[in-house]
Amino acid sequence: MTARMIATLLVLLLGTNAGAAASRTQFDAASGDVRETLTIASVTDLWAFRPLIAAFQSRHPEVAISYLQDTSRNLDERARAACRDGAFLADVIVSTADAEQVRFVNDGCSQPIAAPAIDALPEWAHWRGEVVGLTVEPGVIVYNRAGVAADEVPRDRFALVDLLRRSERFTGRIGTYDIVRSGVGYLFAFEDAVQATTWGRLIESFGRNDVGTYCCTGEILDRVADGRLLLGYNVLGSYAMARARKDPRIGIVFPRDYTLALTRAALVPKAAHEPELASAFIAFALSRAGRTALEKGAGLMPAATGIATLQAKIGGSGPPIRPVALSPALLVALDEAKKTMFLKQWRQSIASVPETGETKR
């Protein structure tokens, strides 16, 4: 990209999370003659999305892009508030909090995406022509290679429960998402509770081992890499694989009992200022050139081919990959009564997690 990039850090008041920080980065139009500005609100780390932005601007040199990065919970709260008030937040919203994205569509807050490539996506990766999966995001176990011997690396959830019961070495040294603050963490946990016979024993083991809970993938990976944590559970595999390629201290396990896969879902809000440009951006992300750009950044695997790519990466005899479909079925996870009960069970098992959702570390 030839455009000058100006990065500014903004402190935003975000609804119930007043004082939380979000970052906004401005990408000037490459031509110097700005005709349109596309605003993207996303949970994706900028370093991972930058190649896609650069590739899109190379095709549209007259377009400037404003990129707002935030946590999934903050982004969803702001997006819903904007919809309720008929206010503008962004032209494109991209999030791995798939249940919240489907709810946004279901609430009538989005509009159809003009992208014929949607029809070529697998059924699990799109819904109603208004929310589409750009990538495949597996949930993996990460571990510190120096701290966890090869013969004790847990290859499935059964082995993880056994390992945490056998040794006290993991007390205070296992981490996962704070499922109150992280939409992707909550959905991974909720799907585990539905699909895994080990769920009750697993969170009991987490509580007994004084698990640490964190808002973001990078926090967990940083701590596993330097040894503050020995294990991380249900970590976004795309970020983990990108880090592990550069940092040999990190090992990755695709659980053999099953590996959940979410998607990085994109939609166009009803109040978008540039809906046609937003559809063009999503269409580009789904194109061959866009998929190449996504893979170039963080090794993000496109939804169109990602399951097969993932299976090839881990070997044909690897674990079954279970994609979580973008569909109204996800709304069950957001039912207020069910969510309240689920979080109550979580807190009772992991007594160190306060009701505010703040992490202890």
For the segment 55-70, the average pLDDT, to the nearest whole number, is 96
Answer yes or no: is pLDDT of 7 > 80.
Answer: no
For the segment 322-331, the average pLDDT, to the nearest whole number, is 95
High-pLDDT (> 70) share of the chain, %: 91
Answer yes or no: is pLDDT of 21 > 70.
Answer: no
Distance CA 69, CA 263 (A): 17
SS3 49: helix
Q: Give per-residue pLDDT as tens, 117-127.
A: 898 899 999 99
For the segment 261-268, the average pLDDT, to the nearest whole number, is 97
* Per-residue tokens: 250: 């990190």
High-pLDDT (> 90) share of the chain, %: 76
* Per-residue tokens: 211: 């698990």
Answer yes or no: is pLDDT of 240 > 80.
Answer: yes
Sorting pLDDT into bands at 50, 70 and 90, what band is 351? low
End-to-end CA distance of the chain: 38
Strands (E), 21-127: 21-27, 36-42, 63-69, 92-95, 110-111, 126-127
Beta bridge partners of 262: 137
Answer yes or no: is pLDDT of 241 > 90.
Answer: yes
DSSP 8-state symbol, 153:
-
Residue ranges of domains in the chain = 5-134+264-311, 137-261+320-349
The single-letter code of the amino acid at 116 is: P
| The domains spanning 5-134+264-311 and 137-261+320-349 adopt the same CATH topology | yes
Q: Give per-residue pLDDT as tens, 299-310.
A: 899 998 888 888
| Percent of residues in the chain assigned helix, strand, coil, to nearest 5 | 45, 25, 35
Residue matched to tokens 């973001």 = 216
Q: Which CATH number fits domain 137-261+320-349: 3.40.190.10, 3.30.160.20, 3.40.50.2300, 3.40.80.10?
A: 3.40.190.10
Between 18 and 356, the higher pLDDT residue: 356
Answer yes or no: is pLDDT of 255 > 90.
Answer: yes
For the segment 61-79, the average pLDDT, to the nearest whole number, is 95
Q: Give per-residue pLDDT as tens, 34-48.
A: 789 999 999 999 999
Residues 78, 80, 81, 85, CA torsion sign: positive
Distance CA 273, CA 138 (A): 33
pLDDT of residue 352: 53
pTM: 0.88
Q: Give per-residue pLDDT as tens, 169-212.
A: 999 999 999 998 899 999 999 999 998 899 999 999 999 999 99
For the segment 129-137, the average pLDDT, to the nearest whole number, is 96
Between 119 and 270, the higher pLDDT residue: 270
Q: How many CB atoms lie within 10 A of CB 104?
A: 24
Distance CA 354, CA 63 (A): 45
Distance CA 51, CA 242 (A): 14
For the domain spanning 5-134+264-311, the CATH number is 3.40.190.10
pLDDT of residue 310: 86
Which helix (DSSP H) or strand (DSSP E) does residue 260 occupy? Answer: strand 259-269
